[in-house]
């Protein structure tokens, strides 16, 4: 019998949030409210996404902002089309591999800063799909920055744990005045960021990438010994991309193509589909073992083949082909953990029914944020944005109020590695937006258009945890019939396996990290299979999943936001 107050079949402490006209699930209640206000004024999902994104820059500064990067997945129902805006920046032109090889890539500070691409993505999405004025969409964020917002317990702890942020003058002035981190409930003001937002509303893209804001960021970076230049910013452009997809148990699952790691989720699902998860049981040692082994196989392939497709031929359709998954699944021993090697997906390039690869020239805890939106017309957005790790580089760029990223920490320094650091190259990203359709969904790379309806929009922050968490919640829904609230609250695991970690130094202990709510007999059975466990708290901060499910009969929206952080779902 379910003991928690909102559980239907399984445990759930929060209710499924219901709505008819629109829904926003975001990493902070004030940001979700900003997006919902736009929906209620008649804006569409993209309008609401920009408002939500800008507000998150203010109230969740540790996770994302215009000093970073992002991906925007948009479903246009009228056109039955999924469009992806890749808003990731490149390594600065002044990057010197030899310098980083000699000194290493710093986890924080000015030499960890990469070119910020996020804002160009917001503005590109606004130009292509939005219906509201930019001034309306930035209004809530400007108000929150100028007049302040109360610090959450989560943000208070994060700021207190970042010594560089609390000591560096321009950062300290905003986030820890006098060197004292804010207590929960204390008001933070970001008046310089409010002015920067106002300048962007007035001057558009040019203000940030070529104007006074650009000059201020570059001057700051140069004064601090950094690499960012005016040419880096002027040349930074987001791009529109076609999604990649696979099927899972009769559903179509869509992801972002490289340089996103979205293919990893599709590979995981393809491999897991070769086994009967339902008969293995939910959260049993048998089902967890199969999923962990599928994760390892997909990650070791990513390590060998995936990088910026402008610089590398990525055999994407081979990687996500069903025939390749069948071959890889044969390597899984149901009774023993493995240390796999990569396969040869190029052999399977033709088995997916489309063109062969993403060709060159074609168009650790990662503190990212994710939000999902569905509007009254059935349009949807799944957006991820990030400054890489918690509070990015910890440096606020002069008087701009912009907290700069530390994305350089994702690069490899081995010249023979597919994702080796190179000026003007985009690093491999872990951000991956997800949509799931009933039956045969919209067109994707190598796949013709179908007429299946939208079933799920979901995503999570968490670096290499992302594709693992997304696999877990999708199987919770499809294989075990959970509600979205039950799925986001279910006990969670993640696997770390050397040398496939995204963050430098890319090596790690081979561990299966598990929240302590998993049953003792499950843990023991996993250990007997050779998994080395690292037990975490009951709610061990494994991602922060956001989910909206669409009822195929009534069209009702059912939402849930992960309670592991400050996430909140609002329905209308």
Q: In sequence order, which residues have a C-beta less than 8 Å from that of residue 79 and are 6 or more positions away?
A: none
Q: 312 catalytic, yes or no?
A: no
Q: Quick one: which of 182, 565, 227 has its CA closest to 368? A: 565
Q: Cβ atoms within 10 A of the Cβ of 406, count? A: 28
Cα separation, 90 vs 117, in Å, equals 8
Cα separation, 444 vs 98, in Å, equals 40
Cα separation, 471 vs 473, in Å, equals 6
Cα separation, 567 vs 557, in Å, equals 17
- Residues, the chain, total? 572
DSSP for 334-403, please give it.
TTB--------GGGGGGGGSS---B-TT------EEEEEEE-TTS-EEEEEEE-SSTTTTS-B-TTS-PB
Measure the CA dihedral 92/98/101/106, to 10°: -30
Contact 420, 412 (CB under 8 A): yes
State how far Cα 405 lies from the chain centre: 15
Contact 49, 72 (CB under 8 A): yes
Catalytic site residue from 52, 170, 247, 368 = 368
List, in sequence order, every residue forming a beta bridge with 458; answer none if it has no partner: 434, 547
**Cα angle, residue 485 at apex, residues 482 and 486 outer, rounded to 5°:** 45
Cis peptide before 259 (omega within 30 of 0): yes
In 77-161 the beta strands, taken as DSSP E runs, fall at 81-87, 149-150
Residue with tokens 């925007």: 72
Structure tokens at 467: 């594709």
Structure tokens at 14: 């929060």
Give the active site residues: 368
């Amino acid at each position: 019998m379910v003991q928690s107050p909102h559980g239907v079949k399984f445990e759930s402490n929060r209710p499924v949030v219901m709505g008819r006209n629109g829904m926003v699930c975001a990493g902070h209640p004030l940001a979700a409210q900003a997006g919902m206000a736009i929906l209620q004024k008649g804006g569409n999902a993209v309008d609401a996404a920009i408002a939500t994104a800008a507000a998150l820059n203010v109230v969740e500064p540790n996770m994302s902002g215009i000093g970073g990067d992002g991906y925007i997945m948009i479903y246009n129902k009228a056109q039955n089309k999924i469009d992806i805006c890749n808003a990731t920046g490149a390594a600065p032109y002044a990057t010197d591999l030899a310098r980083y090889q000699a000194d290493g890539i710093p986890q924080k500070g000015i030499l960890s800063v990469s070119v910020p691409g996020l804002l160009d993505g917001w503005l590109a999405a606004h130009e292509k799909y939005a219906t509201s004025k930019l001034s309306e969409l930035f209004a809530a964020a400007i108000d929150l920055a100028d007049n302040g917002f109360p610090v959450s317990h989560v943000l208070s702890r994060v700021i207190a744990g970042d010594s560089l942020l609390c000591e560096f003058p321009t950062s300290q002035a905003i986030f820890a005045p006098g060197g004292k981190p804010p207590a929960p409930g204390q008001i933070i003001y970001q008046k310089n960021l409010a002015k920067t937002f106002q300048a962007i509303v007035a001057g558009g893209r040019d203000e940030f990438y070529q104007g006074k804001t650009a000059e201020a960021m570059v001057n700051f970076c140069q004064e601090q010994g950094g690499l960012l230049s005016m040419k880096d910013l002027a040349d930074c452009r987001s791009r529109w991309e076609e999604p990649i997809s696979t099927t899972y148990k009769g559903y179509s699952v869509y992801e972002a193509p490289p340089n996103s790691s979205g293919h990893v989720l599709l590979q995981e699902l393809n491999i897991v589909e070769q086994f009967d998860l339902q008969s293995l049981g939910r959260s049993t040692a048998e089902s967890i073992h199969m999923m962990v082994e599928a994760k390892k196989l997909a990650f070791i392939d990513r390590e060998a083949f995936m990088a910026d497709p402008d610089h590398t031929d990525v055999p994407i359709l081979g990687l996500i082909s069903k025939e390749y998954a069948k071959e890889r699944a044969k390597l899984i021993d149901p009774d023993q953990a493995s240390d796999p090697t990569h396969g040869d997906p190029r052999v399977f390039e033709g088995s997916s029914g489309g063109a062969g690869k993403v060709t060159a020239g074609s168009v650790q805890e990662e503190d990212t944020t994710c939000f999902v939106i569905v509007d009254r017309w059935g349009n949807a957005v799944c957006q991820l944005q990030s400054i890489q790790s918690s509070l990015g580089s910890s440096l606020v760029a002069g008087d701009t109020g912009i907290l700069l990223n530390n994305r350089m920490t994702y690069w490899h320094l081995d010249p023979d590695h597919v994702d080796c650091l190179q000026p003007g190259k985009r690093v491999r990203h872990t951000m991956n937006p997800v949509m799931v359709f009933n039956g045969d969904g919209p067109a994707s790379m190598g796949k013709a258009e179908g007429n299946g309806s939208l079933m799920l929009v979901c995503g999570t922050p968490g670096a290499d945890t992302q594709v693992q968490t997304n696999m877990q919640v999708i199987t919770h829904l499809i294989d075990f019939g959970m509600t979205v609230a039950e799925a986001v609250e279910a006990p969670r695991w993640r696997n770390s396996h050397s040398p496939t970690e995204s963050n430098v130094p890319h090596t790690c202990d081979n561990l299966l990290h598990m929240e302590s709510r998993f049953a003792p007999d499950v843990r023991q059975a996993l250990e007997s299979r050779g998994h080395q466990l690292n037990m975490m708290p009951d709610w061990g901060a494994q991602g922060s999943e956001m989910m909206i499910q669409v009822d195929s009969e009534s069209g009702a929206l059912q939402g849930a936001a992960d309670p592991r952080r400050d996430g909140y779902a609002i329905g209308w």
